[in-house]
Amino acid sequence: MTRLVVVGADAAGMSAASQARRGLGPDELEIVAFERGHFTSYSACGIPYWIGGLVESRDDLVARAPEVFRDEYRIDVRLRHEVTAIDLDRREVVARDLEGGGEVREHFDQLVYAAGAVPVDPPWAETSAAGVFGVQTLDDGSALRAWLDGAPRPRRAVVVGGGYIGVEMAEALIRRGLSVTLVERGPQPMSTVDPDMAVLVRDALVGLGIDVRTGVSVTGLTARDGRVASVVTDAGDLPADVVVLGLGVRPNTALARRAGLPVGPTGGIRVDLRMRVMGVDGVWAAGDCVQTVHRLTGQAVHLPLGTHANKQGRVAGINIGGGYATFPGVIGTAVTKVCELEVARTGLRERDATAAGYEFVTVKVESTNRAGYFPGADPMTVKLLAERRSGLLLGAQIVGRSEAAKRIDPLAVALWNQMTVEEMTGLDLGYAPPYAPVWDPVLIAARKAVEALSRG
Amino acid sequence: MTRLVVVGADAAGMSAASQARRGLGPDELEIVAFERGHFTSYSACGIPYWIGGLVESRDDLVARAPEVFRDEYRIDVRLRHEVTAIDLDRREVVARDLEGGGEVREHFDQLVYAAGAVPVDPPWAETSAAGVFGVQTLDDGSALRAWLDGAPRPRRAVVVGGGYIGVEMAEALIRRGLSVTLVERGPQPMSTVDPDMAVLVRDALVGLGIDVRTGVSVTGLTARDGRVASVVTDAGDLPADVVVLGLGVRPNTALARRAGLPVGPTGGIRVDLRMRVMGVDGVWAAGDCVQTVHRLTGQAVHLPLGTHANKQGRVAGINIGGGYATFPGVIGTAVTKVCELEVARTGLRERDATAAGYEFVTVKVESTNRAGYFPGADPMTVKLLAERRSGLLLGAQIVGRSEAAKRIDPLAVALWNQMTVEEMTGLDLGYAPPYAPVWDPVLIAARKAVEALSRG
C-alpha cells in the first residue's frame, strides 16, 4: 500500500489526488489531503462574480465538495488542517487541526505540494483595522461579503491594484452600488496587455463610473474605531469603508522552503516536466506554488491561473498513478471581462518580447466579430506581434465588446505551434455571417503583419 | 503595359484584381472585369439573412460597389457582361452585353477565371413555372424576395435540400411567416456533420415549426396558371407557392472547358499552389470554380465557400502583381447558425475518415460555453475524431446554443498543425468564468480522446 499525502486541497491538489486514484485503486493507494480552509476545489476566479452578485450562491463556486472526494474517490480530506512541517527524511507531514486543536503526523510515500499562492501584501497592508480584504480564497471572499452586508453598510470602496482581480473587483463593487476608486501604481490598469490596448479598458472602467487613479502609490491606511477609514497615497487620501487588495500573488512556499524543496528565480517551486520537485524523490508540486516554463522565451515564469493548476495537478496525478504525462509549459494566454469589454492576450507583450531579446513588428486592426452587416456586429481590435525576419507570431491581444475574448484561442494554438504570420494567412477558420466577416479579424491581422514585415 | 482580364467580378475575381493592383500601378497594369450580374463583391452567404429580414437592405450585402473598384482601384468593371468565349491562342475573351446588346472582344496578357459555381439543378427543376428559386447569386435572392412580396402572397414554401443553404433558407422563410417544409433525401438534414450531431439540428428545425421530411426524394413539380403548385416526391405531393432549391452547387466551368482549361475529378478547374491554371500560361483561377486540396486526405475537393474564394483570389492577385504567394489547401472548416443552434465542423467526418482509409476513435463530450455557475452558461457538445495509434486529430464538430461555433477555430488550427490529442491536452487556451469552464470543452474532449485511444 502506497500512501499519498496532499498539501492543499484546491484545484491542483485535488486534480492530482483524483487522477492518482484513477490510476491506482484503494487497495494500492491511500490518499490523505490536508486543507487549511473550509472548501475543496472551488473556483477562486469566480469570487468577483459572487461578490458582484452575478453568481448567486457561494456553493456554486465549489466544483466538488469534500464528500464527493471522500465517497467517490476514497480520499481522506481533512479540512481546516494546516500543514506546519514536512520532514523529508522521516517522510512525515505535521498538521495542526485549526478547529479541534492538536497536531497530527502522517507518514507519506508520495507527497503533492499544492499550497497555492498568497497575496502580495505590502507593509502598509498589515493593519489591525477591519475592512481590508484580499480575494485569494473563498474564505477571503466570504469575509468580504459579510463585511459588505454588515452594518454600518460600506459605501465607499478603494481597490488597490489594477490587474485582473483588481479590475474585476472594482466592477463587482460598483455593481453592488458602492462608489469605487481603483488605484494603480502604473500608467494603466490591466497592464497584462500593452498600454495601447489597456487604454480601452481604462475608458470602459471610467465609463462604468469607476474613479481610476493611475500613477498613484499607496503608502498607508488610516482607521477609525478599529475600522478602515481611508487609503493614504502619494496623491492624497482616499476615504474608504472597505479596501480590497489586488496586488497580485506570490507562490506560497514558506513551508516548502523550510522542508528544503528547491525554489526558483520566480519564487515558485522548481519542478520537472512530470511535475516532480527537482531532485526530491517522491515529492510533486503543482498549481500556483510552482514555476513553469514560458514556451516562447524558455524562461521560468510564475503564472497562477486555475487552468494551469488543473492541468499540472492532472499531470502529477497521472504520474503518481503509474502513468506517464508531462506539462508542456505555458504561453501566457489569459482572458477577462471588464465591464462590457472582453480582453484577451496570448504570448508576449511588447515589453516581454523586448526583454526576451526579440525584434518584432506590431500591427493593430479594427474589425468586427460578425459580418459588418449582420445584426449585433460589434467592433473588435486585434493586435499582433511578429518576429522580424522569421515572421513567427510572438503575441496577440484582443479587445472587443462581445464574442471577442475566445478569439484568442486560435491565435494561442497558432503560437503554440510556432506558426509564422504568413502561414496564418492561409488558416481555414470558421466563416458565416453571424460569426465572422469573410476575412476573419485574426486573418486580417495576420495579413497586415505580413505587410509590415515586408516593409522591414 | 500588361492587360489583365477578370471573368466574374465577385469575391475571388475582385480579390485577385484589387490585390494585383496593389502590386502594379495603373501605368503597369490595365484591369478589365466582366460580370454577368448586377453586383460586385457581395456576400452570397448573407442572402438567407436578407431574405429572412435579419439584414435589412440588399445593399448591406455588397462589400464593395463597382464605383469603388473603378475609382480607387482603377479597375474597368463591366456589369451585365457575360463572357461567352475565351480564346487562349489569340489571348482574347468575347463578352456579350446583356443589356445594351452586342459583343465586345478584349485582349488579355493575364486572365483570372472566377466564374463561381452554378446550382445543381436536377431535370425536374427545369420548369417554366414561376416561383422556383435558387439562392446562389444576389440576383437570385432579389427575384425570390420580389416573389415573396408579390401577389398573390405565397404562404407555403418547400425547400429542397437540407445542407447549409437549405437549412438557412427554411429558417429565413419561417421567420417571414410562411409555413415551411424541408425535404432532404438523406437520413438527416445538415449532413455536413455526423448523424449523431445532425440530429440536434433536426430537433431544432422541428422546434421552430419546420416540417422536416427526410429520406424523401423529389421527382417533379406541378404548376397551375404558370405558377408552381406543388413538389412531387416519392412520398406524396407537397403543396407549394414557392420552392427554394438548396441542392448544392457545382463549379461553373462550361466556358473554361470550351477554352480547354483542365478540369479535375471534382469538376473544378485544376490549379497549382499559386492558383495558376495547370499548364496554361498566364491564366489563373480562383473561388467556387476551382478544386483545391484537402490537407488531411491529400485528395482534391470542391469546397465553394466565400472565405476560400477570397483567399484564393488574393493569392492569385499577389502572384499577378509580381509577388509570391501560395494557397495551402483546406481542412473543411465550416460554421452555421440553425435556429438557436450553432453548428461547426473542421476536418473529417466519420464517413470521410473511413473513406480516406483512416482508423480512428471518436469521443463526444457535453460541457458548457461558460463556467457552469456563470449566468448564461449554455450546453455545448464537442465531438472529436482521432487517428488510432498516432492520436492525430482528424476532425471536430461542435453543436451549442451560444458562443459555440467559433470554438471550432482552435481545433481547426490544431488540426492544421497536425497535433495529436495528447499534445492538445496541454494547450494554453483562454480561461475565465464568463468564457469557459476551467477545463475548456476542447480540452475535455482531447482528454477523453486520449483515454479512448489508450483503450485501443
pLDDT digits (tens, 9 = 90+) for A231-255: 999 999 999 999 999 999 999 999 9
Is the bond into B152 cis (omega within 30 degrees of 0)?
Answer: yes
Q: Which of A94-103, A127-136, B260-269 has the lowest mean pLDDT?
A: A127-136
The partner residue sitting opposite B433, judged by closest CB among A45, A431, A436, is A45
Other CB atoms within a 10 A radius of the CB of residue A153 amount to 12
pLDDT at B43: 87
Q: Tell me if A372 is assigned to some domain.
A: yes
* Nearest Cα residue to A369 out of A294, A432, A300: A432
- Judging contacts by C-beta atoms under 8 Å, the chain A residues touching residue B311 are 425-426, 443
DSSP B262-286: -B-TTSSBPB-TTSBBTT-TTEEE-
* Among B45, B223, B229, B427, the one annotated catalytic: B45
The interface residues of chain B toward chain A in range 397-456, judged by CB-CB distance below 8 A, are 403, 405-410, 412-414, 416-417, 419, 423, 425-436, 438-440, 442-443
3-class SS of residue A66: helix
Q: Tell me if B328 is assigned to some domain.
A: no
| Bridge pairing between strands B379-387 and B360-368 | antiparallel
- The CA distance from A444 to B314, in Å, is 12
Q: At what angle do helices A11-23 and A66-73 cross, to 10 degrees?
A: 10
Is it the case that residue A339 has pLDDT exceeding 90? no
pLDDT at B64: 87
Same domain? B108 vs B255: yes
Contact A410 B407 (CB under 8 A): no
Which among A62, A164, A373 is the top mutation candidate for probing chain B, defined by the most B β-carbons within 10 Å of its own β-carbon?
A: A373
Give pLDDT tens digits for A79-96.
999 999 999 999 999 999
∠B328-B331-B335 over CA atoms, to 5°? 125
For B184, residues 6+ apart whose C-beta sits below 8 A from its C-beta are: B161, B162, B166, B212, B213, B214, B215, B216
Contact B431 A307 (CB under 8 A): yes
Contact B438 A327 (CB under 8 A): no
Other CB atoms within a 10 A radius of the CB of residue A321 amount to 22
- The CA distance from A320 to A328, in Å, is 18
pLDDT at B42: 86
Give pLDDT tens digits for A284-323.
999 999 999 999 999 999 999 999 999 999 999 999 999 9
The partner residue sitting opposite B373, judged by closest CB among A46, A306, A344, is A46
Q: Tell me if A335 is assigned to some domain.
A: no
Q: What are B111's three cell numbers?
A: 486572365
User: Tell me, what CATH number does A349's domain have?
Assistant: 3.30.390.30
- Residue B73's pLDDT band, with cuts at 50, 70 and 90, is very high
pLDDT at B302: 97
Picking from A247, A278, A297, the residue at the C-terminal end of a domain is A247
Q: What are B219's three cell numbers?
A: 421527382
Chain A CB within 8 Å of residue B190 CB: no
Q: If residue B107 lies in a helix (H) or strand (E), which one and from where to where? A: strand B103-107
Contact B417 A412 (CB under 8 A): no
A310 neighbors A11 (Cβ within 8 angstroms): yes
Q: For a pLDDT cut of 90, what percent of chain B falls above it?
A: 92
SS3 content of chain B, % helix, strand, coil (to 5): 30, 30, 40
CB-based burial label for B220 (10 Å; 0-12, 13-18, 19+): middle
For the residues B57-67, what does the mean pLDDT come to?
A: 90
- Judging contacts by C-beta atoms under 8 Å, the chain A residues touching residue B330 are 428
Same domain? A257 vs A316: yes
Q: What are B419's three cell numbers?
A: 497535433
Same domain? A236 vs A131: yes
DSSP A88-112: TTTTEEEEEETTT-SEEEEE-SEEE
Contact A431 B373 (CB under 8 A): no
Is it the case that residue A438 has pLDDT exceeding 90? yes
- Residue A325: closest CA among chain B residues belongs to which residue? B422
The interface residues of chain A toward chain B in range 363-402, judged by CB-CB distance below 8 A, are 371, 373-375
Same domain? B236 vs B264: no
Q: Tell me if B327 is assigned to some domain.
A: no
Phi, psi of B335 (to 5 degrees): -135, 150
CB-based burial label for A430 (10 Å; 0-12, 13-18, 19+): buried
The interface residues of chain B toward chain A in range 228-287, judged by CB-CB distance below 8 A, are none
Full domain range(s) for residue B237: 121-247
Picking from A247, A281, A311, the residue at the C-terminal end of a domain is A247
| Count of structural domains within chain B | 3
DSSP B129-191: -BSEE--SSHHHHHHHHHHHHSSSPP-EEEEE--SHHHHHHHHHHHHTT-EEEEEESSSSS-T
Which among B438, B444, B448 is the top mutation candidate for probing chain A, defined by the most A β-carbons within 10 Å of its own β-carbon?
A: B438
- The CA distance from B330 to B301, in Å, is 9
pLDDT at A303: 96
pLDDT at A340: 83
Long-range contacts of A200-205 (CB under 8 A, 24+ apart): A200/A341, A200/A381, A200/A399, A201/A167, A201/A338, A201/A341, A201/A343, A201/A399, A204/A338, A204/A339, A204/A340, A204/A341, A205/A167, A205/A170, A205/A171, A205/A338, A205/A339
Could you tell me how many CB contacts below 8 A there are between chain A and chain B? 204
- Residue B422: closest CA among chain A residues belongs to which residue? A325
The dihedral formed by the CA atoms of A281, A282, A286 and A288, expressed in degrees to the nearest 10: -60
For B408, residues 6+ apart whose C-beta sits below 8 A from its C-beta are: A430, B333, B335, B344, B345, B346, B396, B398
Is it the case that residue A155 has pLDDT exceeding 90? yes
Give pLDDT tens digits for B406-422.
999 999 999 999 999 99
- Residue A323: closest CA among chain B residues belongs to which residue? B454
pLDDT at A121: 84
- The CA distance from A238 to A144, in Å, is 19
pLDDT at B339: 81
Other CB atoms within a 10 A radius of the CB of residue B42 amount to 27
Distance of residue A165 Cα from the nearest chain B Cα, in angstroms: 11
Same domain? B114 vs B258: yes
Is it the case that residue B218 has pLDDT exceeding 80? yes
Q: If residue B68 lies in a helix (H) or strand (E), which one and from where to where? A: helix B66-73
- Judging contacts by C-beta atoms under 8 Å, the chain B residues touching residue A433 are 43, 45-46, 49, 55
Residues of A that are catalytic: 45
A185 neighbors A159 (Cβ within 8 angstroms): no
What is the edge-to-edge ordering of all strands in the sheet holding A283-285?
A75-79, A29-35, A2-7, A110-113, A283-285
- Judging contacts by C-beta atoms under 8 Å, the chain B residues touching residue A427 are 412-413, 416
Is it the case that residue A73 has pLDDT exceeding 90? yes
- The CA distance from A339 to B62, in Å, is 34
pLDDT at A243: 97
Is it the case that residue B163 has pLDDT exceeding 80? yes
Same domain? A243 vs A261: no
Q: For a pLDDT cut of 90, what percent of chain A falls above it?
A: 92
B264 neighbors B271 (Cβ within 8 angstroms): no
Contact A373 B426 (CB under 8 A): no
- Judging contacts by C-beta atoms under 8 Å, the chain A residues touching residue B190 are none
Is the bond into A328 cis (omega within 30 degrees of 0)?
Answer: no
User: Tell me, what CATH number does A191's domain have?
Assistant: 3.50.50.60
Is it the case that residue A262 has pLDDT exceeding 90? yes
Picking from B247, B266, B292, the residue at the C-terminal end of a domain is B247
Distance of residue A45 Cα from the nearest chain B Cα, in angstroms: 7
Same domain? B277 vs B345: no
The interface residues of chain A toward chain B in range 40-99, judged by CB-CB distance below 8 A, are 43, 45-46, 49, 54-55, 60-61, 63
B313 neighbors B12 (Cβ within 8 angstroms): yes
For the residues A37-47, what does the mean pLDDT come to?
A: 89
- The CA distance from B292 to A144, in Å, is 60
Q: Tell me if A310 is assigned to some domain.
A: yes
- Judging contacts by C-beta atoms under 8 Å, the chain A residues touching residue B427 are 412-413, 416
Amino acid B237 reads: D
Same domain? A151 vs A231: yes
Same domain? B404 vs B417: yes
Q: Please give the sequence-ordered ranges of beta strands (E in DSSP) within A56-142, or none if there are none.
A: 75-79, 81-87, 92-97, 103-107, 110-113, 117-119, 132-133
A48 neighbors B374 (Cβ within 8 angstroms): no
Q: What are A214's three cell numbers?
A: 493611475
Contact A434 B55 (CB under 8 A): no
- The CA distance from A167 to A337, in Å, is 9
DSSP A234-281: BTEEEE-SEEEE-S-EEE--HHHHHHT--B-TTSSBPB-TTSBBTT-T
Give pLDDT tens digits for B298-320.
999 999 999 999 999 999 999 99
Q: Tell me if B329 is assigned to some domain.
A: no
pLDDT at B338: 87
What does DSSP assign to residue A154?
P
Distance of residue A308 Cα from the nearest chain B Cα, in angstroms: 8
- Judging contacts by C-beta atoms under 8 Å, the chain B residues touching residue A45 are 371, 431-433, 438
Contact A428 B306 (CB under 8 A): no
Q: Tell me if B326 is assigned to some domain.
A: no
Same domain? B411 vs B308: no
For the residues A357-365, what does the mean pLDDT come to?
A: 98
Q: What are B358's three cell numbers?
A: 483512416
* Cα–Cα distances in angstroms (integers) from residue B154 to residues B50, B211, B218, in the given order: 17, 17, 20
- Residue A211's pLDDT band, with cuts at 50, 70 and 90, is very high
What does DSSP assign to residue A392?
B
Contact B43 A432 (CB under 8 A): no
Is it the case that residue B156 has pLDDT exceeding 80? yes
Is it the case that residue B456 has pLDDT exceeding 80? no
Contact B406 A403 (CB under 8 A): yes
Same domain? A49 vs A95: yes
Buried/exposed A19-54: b ≥16 CB within 10 Å, e otherwise: bbbeebeeeebbbbbbbbbbbbbbbbbbbbbbbbeb
Q: What sign does the CA torsion over A201, A205, A207, A211 have?
A: negative
Distance of residue B414 Cα from the nearest chain A Cα, in angstroms: 6
Cell 469538376, residue located: B267
A446 neighbors A424 (Cβ within 8 angstroms): yes
- Residue A435: closest CA among chain B residues belongs to which residue? B406
For B416, residues 6+ apart whose C-beta sits below 8 A from its C-beta are: A427, A428, B295, B331
Please count the CA atoms within 13 angstroms of the CA of B428 that sit on its side-chain side.
28
pLDDT at A126: 84
Give pLDDT tens digits for A265-288.
999 999 999 999 999 999 999 999
Amino acid B418 reads: Q
Contact B433 A374 (CB under 8 A): no
Q: Say how many Å lie between the first and final Cα of chain B, rounded.
A: 64
Strand partners, B3: B30
Cell 475574448, residue located: A405
Phi, psi of B404 (to 5 degrees): -115, -40
The pLDDT mean for chain B works out to: 95
What does DSSP assign to residue A16?
H
The partner residue sitting opposite B43, judged by closest CB among A403, A433, A435, is A433
- Judging contacts by C-beta atoms under 8 Å, the chain A residues touching residue B61 are 373
Same domain? B114 vs B255: yes
Buried/exposed B371-383: b ≥16 CB within 10 Å, e otherwise: bebbeebeebbbb
Contact A432 B60 (CB under 8 A): no
Task: Report ipTM (2 d.p.).
Answer: 0.94
A37 neighbors A137 (Cβ within 8 angstroms): yes
